[in-house]
Structure 1
Amino acid sequence: MENYSQRHKYQPGMTCSVDGCENPAEYEVVLYDFYDYSSGPTTFYEQDYTCPFLCQTHLNINEEQAVGERRPRGSVRYPYTNRHNSLGYSKYNPLKDVYPQFFSAGEAENASQIQIDLNEINAELISYLAKHPEYLRHLNARKFEMLIAEIIRSKGYDVTLTPQTRDGGKDIIALYKSPFGHQMFIVECKRYQEDNKVGVELVRGLYGVKMAERYNQALLVTTSTFTPDAQEFVKPLKFELELKDYNDITNWCKEYSKK
């Protein structure tokens, strides 16, 4: 891992740096930027002393509510990090990677196989998720939508992510072109925890959008599973409405990583 300056050193038992949060710290926050000077390129990479540590929950919120361009010399406003509005953007290093001496060998080995950059959906991340699908639930909601959009794109579809501010019903619009005509699909994504099953109400709602807006097919994708009522609802709608759960997404990631 790249060396960088750290004003605040992590100690076992430290909590998230967000005011009032008592969750254990899980990530160290760093500020990243890149300068293309005439004398040569220079990377700026140091601990964010305004918010040095985050838990998983506040990391997700921090990314979900970020506004701006994540690029060198860009400007991103976050709810928790980079409170001095430095150029560049925030990255997150798992504490098990930065301070392995405080974690058991087994924990460090499991967490250090890759540094997940939650800012980007790329082949490296998808390959990692194929091997460690439990991290699917660590992505924030928007990044999960971006992941599903990228997987669908890899299957030959033209995809469009809908705006984040919406009433619901569709997160992705996918167009498949063939010599026999075009088909338009809508996809709704639900990044839920394992014990939060998707019920029939959401399935009915997506089907209603599909019918009202005359799409060819609808797809509901979740990191959880579906209730029996939801599965029963789609049985007579085989070619109109599909349900994809945690195991299906894992298989998609495995297929993607083989390409």
Structure 2
Amino acid sequence: MSFIDEINQVNALIVGANQGIGFGFVKKLLPDTRISKIYATYRQLESSSELINLAAEHSERLICLAVDITEESQIAEAAQTIRNQVNKLHLVVNCVGLLHDDTLQPEKSLRQINPDKLLRYFQINSIGSVLLAKHLLPLFKHKERSVFASISAKVGSIGDNQLGGWYGYRASKAALNMFMRTVAIEYGRSSPQTLVVTLHPGTTDTRLSRPFQGNVPPEKLFSVERTVSQLMNVIEQLQQDDSGQFFSWDGSRLPW
């Protein structure tokens, strides 16, 4: 039985919910009658119209929060807002991630290493998640089973790195894995019913992966809907001793 089936009213938080996998999670959870409340964060209002419109249609269950996870004060404020409305969370999925944007591209060689850009990778891909763990802990301190999942990437596996390159993205996802492994140990003492995991979604047809899909076989390029369904299946099958582990979209454990 899934941990969600064991709980009367499940409260969920999707971080980075305005697009891609995060928005896919919101759309997946909304029709699920097991879910009572869905909190969904976005960074910029102008790129979040679909999420905001959806919240207007489901105002009793879907609550949007503006959060830039590079700003700890915004994370703390959002956590307090949630605590003012509900006293516990059962499912948190952090979907925020950065691979490229208008000013940032993954490095192909050491010549392209730039310390400011490296710092940005770490702020978004690594530090944000551990700050979420810090401020959400009070919402996990209850006796019902809960899951805190962060979207990582297989390229963040040190043991699996055969190609090199992508220094900032690889290293920041490896740091995310270590942060969350360490969080899992502390949560195991302070919030023992919470399972903390990192998840590799596979190559998903989103804005993040679009410039790098050329060499991906069609059967290995997942729609957002398929990715979210696969990840939810992994999340719902987690067992107590899975906390602190790194899982692929098919439920297999990935090497560190």
TM-score if structure 2 supplies the norm length?
Answer: 0.26
Higher strand share: 1
Higher helix share: 2
Computing the radius of gyration from Cα coordinates, the structure with the larger value is 1
TM-score if structure 1 supplies the norm length?
Answer: 0.25
**Higher relative CO (CA 8 A, sep ≥ 6), structure 1 or 2?**
2
